[in-house]
């Protein structure tokens, strides 16, 4: 029998060593550990709505189980679901995608992963605006691509202009990532800036991968998808998700809208990995997309109220500066004025907040900046107040 010493260490692939575990999921893990020890934690770490999934959506899933809709479906989702996705998109954003330009996947992250595997090869450069959602960088790297970082302008509420992107283009550039509204800043790009970036990409023969998972959580009153720009559709991949819009994070249903050839390649990849998204979830998704959208409007009104509350609270804390987000459910305050000898990075501050103030936040390092923390305000106003009070006390003691 082989002894412990004789067993060779596991050799993992170069590919898996290129990427890191998700920083946001790491915070969730730490917070869970403290909670299990009985710590009374205020959790601003979670990247998911605090609302229950609307009743009519849950009932559609239960009905699907009772109707034995529990077998394999087509890999990219049923025709009924893909039609519901393109119909909803056309109603809300005046797009004209066809069923064959749509694939349903196991969450928006899965759709993004598949799209990048299909479009990005070894050495391809991908423009990634900073601050970025944690997974973009690692998904690009896993495909062999090289993220090229473009810093958004914090003094202009993290604005990203076409000129900033143009300066970063090289002959190796293959794609540009957009994410409006943004995780982690909540920044919303103007339709004019997005249009100019699509035009630029079109002129240079580049792909735009537009992550629109928060597209319905837009507080400007001017909800916008690049899918409405029909003239640029041949170079655009839109990533969508039901997770945040309908408070369905655990159900895992996302999609991509893209040229039929890209969808077909993504389907090939999906056919060799997960196959179809869960059958009963597809029925629930159809109910969400085709049903009354009042639940989306109700949640939006609550997001705006919570955003106003948390921004006002943060602005009262000495040393904290904070851009006013126009979408998603995150604020991204800059804490650099509070840095000194014991705390001189967001990671230090997040550790102190977690272990001394018992407030869970995500440090900016995971999003490409070291002066900010991400606060998710997807919680009750009472929890927000408890957390803000604890943060103010800790900051005052530094």
Q: Which residues lie near ligand PLP (CB under 6 A)?
A: 47, 107-109, 133, 179, 183, 211, 213, 241, 243, 249, 254
Minimal CA–CA distance to 219: which of 299, 277, 300? 300
CA distances 159 to 42, 82, 130, Å, are: 30, 33, 10
> Judged by CB, which is closer to ligand PLP: 195, or 241?
241
**Min separation Cβ 343 and ligand PLP, Å:** 27
DSSP per-residue codes, 70-97: -S---TT--HHHHHHHHHHHHHHH----
CB of 250 to ligand PLP, least distance (A): 9
Q: How far is the CB of 382 from ligand PLP (least distance, A)?
A: 24
CB of 6 vs ligand PLP, minimal distance in Å? 42
Nearest residue (CB) to ligand PLP, 44 versus 133:
133
| 123 vs 250 by CB, closer to ligand PLP | 250
- Cβ proximity to ligand PLP, 151 vs 249, nearer residue: 249
State in angstroms the smallest separation of the CB of 205 from ligand PLP.
Answer: 25
Q: At what angle do helices 55-66 and 279-290 cross, to 10 degrees?
A: 140
- Between 276 and 336, name the residue whose CB sits nearer to ligand PLP: 276
**Of 224, 235, 233, 152, which is closest to residue 194 (Cα–Cα)?**
224
321 C-beta neighbours (distance < 10 Å), count: 15
Q: Which is nearer to ligand PLP, 112 or 306 (CB)?
A: 112
Q: Considering beta carbons, is residue 313 or 368 the nearer one to ligand PLP?
A: 368
- For the chain, the residue count is 398
> 398: which residues sit within 8 A by CB, 6+ positions away?
338, 340, 342, 343
Burial 238-270 (b: 16+ CB within 10 A, else e): bbbbbbbbbbbbebbbbbbbbbeebbebbbebb
* 368 close to 148: Cβ distance less than 8 angstroms: no
Shortest separation between residue 9's beta carbon and ligand PLP, angstroms: 33
- For residue 53, the minimal CB distance to ligand PLP (Å) is 13
For the record, the structure tokens of 335 come out as 């804490």
**Integer Rg of the chain from CA:** 21
Q: Which is nearer to ligand PLP, 126 or 317 (CB)?
A: 126
- Structure tokens that stand for 319 in this block: 């040393």
The whole-angstrom separation of Cα 335 and Cα 100 is 47
Q: How far apart are CA 227 and CA 170, in angstroms?
A: 26
Least distance between ligand PLP and beta carbon 178 (Å): 10
For helices 134-142 and 108-119, the axis angle rounded to 10 degrees is: 40
Nearer to ligand PLP, 93 or 132 (CB): 132
Minimal distance in Å, beta carbon 282 to ligand PLP?
14
Q: What phi and psi values does residue 321 have, to the nearest 5 degrees?
A: -115, 150
């Amino acid at each position: 029998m082989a002894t412990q010493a004789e067993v060779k260490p596991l050799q993992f692939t170069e590919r898996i060593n290129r990427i890191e575990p998700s920083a946001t999921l790491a915070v969730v893990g730490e917070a869970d550990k403290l909670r299990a020890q009985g710590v009374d934690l205020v959790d601003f770490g979670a990247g998911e709505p605090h609302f229950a999934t609307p009743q009519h959506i849950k009932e559609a899933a239960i009905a699907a189980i009772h109707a034995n809709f529990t077998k394999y479906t087509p890999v990219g989702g049923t025709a009924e679901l893909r039609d519901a996705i393109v119909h909803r998109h056309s109603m809300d954003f005046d797009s004209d995608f066809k069923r064959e330009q749509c694939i349903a996947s196991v969450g928006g992250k899965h759709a993004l992963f598949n799209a990048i595997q299909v479009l990005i090869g070894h050495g391809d450069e991908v423009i990634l605006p900073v601050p970025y959602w944690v997974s973009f960088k690692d998904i690009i790297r896993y495909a062999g691509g090289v993220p090229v970082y473009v810093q958004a302008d914090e003094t202009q509420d993290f604005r990203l202009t076409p000129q900033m992107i143009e300066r970063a283009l090289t002959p190796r550039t293959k794609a540009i990532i957009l994410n409006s509204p943004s995780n982690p800043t909540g920044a919303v790009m103007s339709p004019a800036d997005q249009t100019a970036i699509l035009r630029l990409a079109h002129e240079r023969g580049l792909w735009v991968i537009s992550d629109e998972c928060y597209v319905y959580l837009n507080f400007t009153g001017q909800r916008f998808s690049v899918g409405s720009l029909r003239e640029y559709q041949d170079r655009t991949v839109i990533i969508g998700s039901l997770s945040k819009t309908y408070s369905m994070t655990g159900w895992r249903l996302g999609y991509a809208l893209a040229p039929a050839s890209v969808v077909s390649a993504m389907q090939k990849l999906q056919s060799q990995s997960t196959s179809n998204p869960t059958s009963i979830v597809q029925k629930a998704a159809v109910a969400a997309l085709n049903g009354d959208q009042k639940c989306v409007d109700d949640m939006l009104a609550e997001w705006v109220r919570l955003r106003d509350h948390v921004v006002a609270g943060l602005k009262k804390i000495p040393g904290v500066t904070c851009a006013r987000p126009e979408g998603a459910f995150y604020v991204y305050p800059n804490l650099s004025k509070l840095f000194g000898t014991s705390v001189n990075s967001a990671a230090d501050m997040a550790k102190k907040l977690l272990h001394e103030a018992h407030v869970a936040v995500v440090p900016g390092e995971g999003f490409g900046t070291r002066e900010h923390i991400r606060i998710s305000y997807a919680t009750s106003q009472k929890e927000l107040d408890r957390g803000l009070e604890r943060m103010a006390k800790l900051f005052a003691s530094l």
